[in-house]
Amino acid sequence: MIERPLHTARLIHQEWLSEPNQTKHLVFAIEDMPQFNFTAGQFLSLVAPKEGKTITRAYSLASAPRKNEFDLCLNRVQDGFFSNLLCDMKEGDAVRFHGPHGAFVLRNPLRDSLLIATGTGIAPIRGFVQWLFADDSNHGGRQIWLVYGTRHEGSIYYRDYFDLIAHDYPNFHYIATLSRPSEGWSEGRGYVQEHARKIIEARPESERGEMDAYVCGLNKMVSATRKMLKEELGWDRKQIVFERYD
C-alpha cells in the first residue's frame, strides 16, 4: 500500500449556498504549511475513521491556490457518510486529507474554452475561473464560456461572482440554465449540452476544432455531453477534459 503524507485542514469559515439542497461553501486553512501548491481543478482525498476503517472521499478544490487556504463546495448526500460529516463540521473543527490529485486541469496552451458543469461540479470550474482572471496573462484574451446547469434558481451557486467576472471581462460569458425554472425565469432553460451546442454552432466552422471543453458533474451529464460533442459535432476526444463525481 502506498503511504501518502496526511495533512490537517481546519474549517475557518462556512456558509450555505443553498439551504433546500443543503449545499455548503467551506473554507479551510492547512496547519503547518504556509503555501499549498496545486493546479486549479484538482481534488483532495479527505480521510476519516469509521468503525475501525479509514474512509476516503474525493472533493474538488473550489478555489485557485491562495496561501495555505482552500475552498470546497459540497452537497449533503442523503445517508452519505462523508458529505454529512463535512456539512456538520463547526468552525475550528479539523479534517485530514492527502493530495492534491487529478488531471482535471486547464490545458497549456489555453484555447477558447467551454466550461460545463452541473450541481457541485461547479467547484473545480470556480477554481479555473479564479485562476484565469487573477492575471490577464492566464486567460490571454481567450473566449471562455461557462454553462452551468441546475434545477432551480435557488441553486445557482456563486452566481454573483460569475456575473461580476462576466461584467468585467468581455471574453467571459456566463449562462445559467434551469431544468425546473419558475415562471419568472427569463434566462437559460433545459440541458447544458443544448446550450453548449448552440455556442459551438455559432462559431465559424474553421474555429470549432480550435477549442476545448471542460466538463464536470455526475456521470449522466458528463456522458451525454461527451456523446453530443463527439458524435453530433465531430469533436476529437482530446478536446474534452472531464471529471465525474459518481
Ligand X SMILES: Cc1cc2nc3c(=O)[nH]c(=O)nc-3n(C[C@H](O)[C@H](O)[C@H](O)COP(=O)(O)OP(=O)(O)OC[C@H]3O[C@@H](n4cnc5c(N)ncnc54)[C@H](O)[C@@H]3O)c2cc1C
Q: Which residues bind ligand X (CB under 6 A)?
A: 43, 57-60, 73-75, 77, 79-84, 120, 123, 243, 245-246
Residue, CB closest to ligand X: 80
Q: Closer to ligand X by CB, 123 or 129: give it.
A: 123
Which residues make Cβ contacts (< 8 Å) with residue 174, sequence separation at least 6?
145, 146, 148, 162, 163, 165, 166
The three cell numbers of residue 110 are: 489555453
Picking from 104, 37, 106, 23, the residue whose alpha carbon sits closest to that of residue 70 is 37
Shortest Å, Cβ 84 to ligand X: 6
Q: Using an 8 Å Cβ cutoff, are 147 and 114 in contact?
A: yes
Q: Closer to ligand X by CB, 77 or 241: give it.
A: 77
Q: Using an 8 Å Cβ cutoff, are 79 and 29 in contact?
A: no
The three cell numbers of residue 2 are: 502506498
Q: Closer to ligand X by CB, 79 or 168: give it.
A: 79
Shortest Å, Cβ 237 to ligand X: 19
Can you tell me whether residue 149 is helix, strand or coil? strand
Picking from 26, 22, 118, the residue whose alpha carbon sits closest to that of residue 76 is 22
Shortest Å, Cβ 103 to ligand X: 10
Shortest Å, Cβ 170 to ligand X: 29
Can you tell me whether residue 38 is helix, strand or coil? coil
- Rounded Cα distance, 12 and 136, in Å: 30
Shortest Å, Cβ 154 to ligand X: 17
Q: Closer to ligand X by CB, 43 or 235: give it.
A: 43
Q: Using an 8 Å Cβ cutoff, are 169 and 175 in contact?
A: no
Shortest Å, Cβ 69 to ligand X: 16
Q: Closer to ligand X by CB, 70 or 191: give it.
A: 70
Q: Closer to ligand X by CB, 145 or 242: give it.
A: 242
